[in-house]
Structure 1
Amino acid sequence: MTWRFALVLEPAASDDAREDFAAGFREIDPSAPALSVGELSTQRGDGIFESIGVVNGHAQEVAAHLERLAHSAALCDLPTPNLEQWRQAVTVAAAHCPADGEGVIKLILSRGVEHGPAPTAWVTAAQAPDNTVVRERGVRIVTLDRGYGIDTPARAPWLLLGAKTLSYAVNMAAIREAKRRGADDAVFVSSDGFVLEAPTASLVLRIGGRFVTPAPNGGILHGTTQLSLFEHLAVQGRETAYETVPVSALAEADAAWLLSSVRLAAPISAIDGVAVAVDRELTASFNEYLLSPRT
């Protein structure tokens, strides 16, 4: 049985120069119309979002997601979010999630209605897809040119390449292209030959006993799940690193994973049509940790 829940956050009725949100939100019918036709999130994708995994009623890594929401807001010149209000909204949404199973809470902050007085913000909760098979069997990926060099984000910050924006048309097009090529997902690479990230996930490689992820300086979204896993690996005494990773490293890796808040750790089973080894035991241990309560 599927389920959904939604809240709208109320804007401050004050002269606060930041146009912060005051503590307050109201529940809405998730199946009913809720946005104005002038809403810029739908007209232009002008907004940001976060997806928080929920396991057995527990919202995972809430602090990290809220920090990233604030970072994206700053990059996009959106009003500074009132993080305590968002935190309270997440708590309410999580309380409406079943005590057993997995869900996803989404936080959306839009620039609002064109020429309107305030931004628009809402929180939804819904049942997550069943990712059991993909966590066990893995995903086949293809590499796709992202269309810019590794130094482009530093030279052109207005491209918002490090923000988690609502403008996901390119990301979805990349996944469709991957499926046209007989794969399940994609990994973006820069035009000058460096590995970036997947359209909706971070990439982690195991190379010679070290766990490596592309450094978040090429317009890469810093993954909350990847950060959490690296902390877990460090506690175990394993070496982790952020590096500028050439495309050639994909073929040299002992194993590789895509990491995201809802899918968690999905091992990569093939790259550009070439099968690669899947460490099922290690993957199972990753997901056991990622399914445990994490704050």
Structure 2
Amino acid sequence: MALRFALVIEPAASDDPRPVFSDSFRVIDPSAPALSVGELSTQRGDGIFESIGVVDGHAQETEAHLERLAHSAQICDLPAPNLEQWRQAVAVAAQHSPSEGEGVIKLILSRGVEHGPAPTAWVTATAAADNSIAREKGIRVVTLDRGYGIDTPARAPWLLLGAKTLSYAVNMAAIREAKRRGADDAVFVTSDGFVLEAPTASLILRIGGRFVTPAPNGGILHGTTQLSLFAHLEAQGHETGYEVLPTSALGEADAAWLVSSVRLAAPITAIDDIEVPSDAELTASFNRYLLSPRD
């Protein structure tokens, strides 16, 4: 899909006290070349990003995304973003998102140009793809070995596990492999037999009436949509939890979902060709909530 809007940001220091940052924004033609050939985001994938869902012109869960952007910057040794500057950039991008229907705002912070000024940053806005079929009919997934153990992130923090980096080649390769196996998406598992997350989504299982998700201590990206949905479930009196889940837990679920900022809640109908019960009414209620304005 073609970009509707692009905004280049001149990053400000995190302690810059200015109340207005509009003079640090530069609107550019979204179809025109914009990055230097020395840009490390394209040469090495050396940067971080966030994708914010937009519903009827309203940017969803902006604060949670900004907090995660700052967390990723810290993990990757990038300069701490000035969150007020980024907040204002999101507001500008939202004005150029579809006023009706769904859209996506992307925030990108790169290490910059090699041997040059750093960092570089920009924001884009576009219409979202139609995810209605995945939400209503569900998706089939396969489990794929992520290639490390549950304790690897603690032993090897330089792998940047748990940061939302631009280096998404492995994530995209996993989705292609899932499709080669006749599925729609994948769920990563550790080499020592624990459940992680999907390449672009969080996993939620319903087991024995409880809603659980893998604990974010194994290199899992803490999902903004999962956090919001858990808060919604708790407000309705449901029990939620974070657990270190063995792969056997996948077979114990009486319902399962992949949730993300743009696709929202997609019920899982099969895992490794084993059918999973689905709850159409509950899924519809999830998506009604996720499509409501959320700050």
Task: Report if the CA contact (8 A) 2:142-2:273 is conserved.
Answer: yes
Matching residue of 1:204: 204
Matched, 1:4 2:10: no
Report SS of the residue matched to 1:165.
coil
Matching residue of 1:129: 129
> Where do 4+ consecutive residues of structure 1 move more than 4 Å?
18-22
- Number of residues of Structure 1 aligned to a counterpart in Structure 2: 291
Report SS of the residue matched to 1:11.
coil
Report SS of the residue matched to 1:200.
coil
Matching residue of 1:142: 142
Quote how far apart the aligned CAs of 1:99 are.
Answer: 1.6
Quote how far apart the aligned CAs of 1:10 are.
Answer: 1.3
Quote how far apart the aligned CAs of 1:274 are.
Answer: 1.4
Matched, 1:25 2:28: no
Matching residue of 1:154: 154
Task: Report if the CA contact (8 A) 2:144-2:188 is conserved.
Answer: yes
Task: Report if the CA contact (8 A) 2:3-2:31 is conserved.
Answer: no
Matched, 1:173 2:173: yes
- Within 2, Cα distance between the matches of 1:6 and 1:53? 16
Residue identity (%): 82
Instruction: Report the AA paired with residue 89 of structure 1.
Output: A
Quote how far apart the aligned CAs of 1:98 are.
Answer: 2.0
Quote how far apart the aligned CAs of 1:116 are.
Answer: 1.1
Quote how far apart the aligned CAs of 1:140 are.
Answer: 0.3
Q: Give the direction of change, closer, same or farther, for the CA distance of 1:21–1:69 in structure 2 (3 Å limit).
A: farther
- Within 2, Cα distance between the matches of 1:98 and 1:87? 19
Matched, 1:49 2:49: yes
Q: Give the direction of change, closer, same or farther, for the CA distance of 1:230–1:135 in structure 2 (3 Å limit).
A: same
Unaligned runs of 5+ in 1: none
Q: Give the direction of change, closer, same or farther, for the CA distance of 1:21–1:214 in structure 2 (3 Å limit).
A: farther
Matching residue of 1:247: 247
Report SS of the residue matched to 2:144.
strand
Instruction: Report the AA paired with residue 87 of structure 2.
Output: R
TM-score w.r.t. the length of structure 2 is 0.96
Quote how far apart the aligned CAs of 1:11 are.
Answer: 3.5
TM-score w.r.t. the length of structure 1 is 0.96
Deviations 1:245-274 (A, max 9, x none): 010110110100000000000000110011
Matching residue of 1:38: 38
Quote how far apart the aligned CAs of 1:276 are.
Answer: 1.2
Report SS of the residue matched to 1:108.
strand
Report SS of the residue matched to 2:10.
strand
Alignment of 1:61-140 (within 5 A): 61-140=61-140
Q: Give the direction of change, closer, same or farther, for the CA distance of 1:161–1:3 in structure 2 (3 Å limit).
A: closer
Quote how far apart the aligned CAs of 1:3 are.
Answer: 5.5
- Within 2, Cα distance between the matches of 1:49 and 1:29? 20
Instruction: Report the AA paired with residue 205 of structure 2.
Output: L
Task: Report if the CA contact (8 A) 1:21-1:82 is conserved.
Answer: no
Instruction: Report the AA paired with residue 91 of structure 1.
Output: A
Task: Report if the CA contact (8 A) 1:19-1:80 is conserved.
Answer: no
- Within 1, Cα distance between the matches of 2:3 and 2:190? 39
- Within 2, Cα distance between the matches of 1:177 and 1:216? 24
Q: For structure 1, which segment, 267-276 or 35-44, has the greater mean C-alpha deviation from structure 2 after superposition?
A: 267-276
Deviations 1:52-75 (A, max 9, x none): 000000000000000000000000
